[in-house]
Amino acid sequence: MSEDIKKLIKQNEVIISLLGRIAFTPDKVREIVISRKQNPQNYINGYNSCDGKHTLSDIARIVGVTPGTLSPILVEWEEVGIIYEVEKPGGKFYKKLFTI
């Protein structure tokens, strides 16, 4: 990957993060992540592991659920706008707006 593309990707990530901070407070993101969850801290840990390096299976392991259980939750988080999918070889990867 060229340096220009790497710079553009980084620039886009910064813009997304800044826009996310305008739209969501950390408390609002925390509320979305833990809503109706039996083990809220596990979901916070899972959300915080959405760093673009962990697969769906990795995040599910961190949360302590199956990928099938976590997948619709990540879809919901993506629809709400607190994570976004990163296209990479090797699976689905997600990035969070900011750490909570």
**Could you read off the pLDDT tens digit of each residue along the chain, which spans 100 residues?**
788 877 777 777 777 776 777 778 889 999 999 999 999 999 999 999 999 999 999 999 999 999 999 999 999 999 998 998 887 888 789 999 889 9
State the Cα torsion 61-18-80-78 to the nearest 10°.
-40
Q: What pTM value is reported for the model? A: 0.81
First to last CA, the chain: 31
DSSP state of 89: T
Tokens found for residue 34? 């833990």
Calculate ∠ Cα 28-93-81, nearest 5°: 30
Non-local (6+) Cβ contacts of 42 within 8 A are: 62, 63, 64
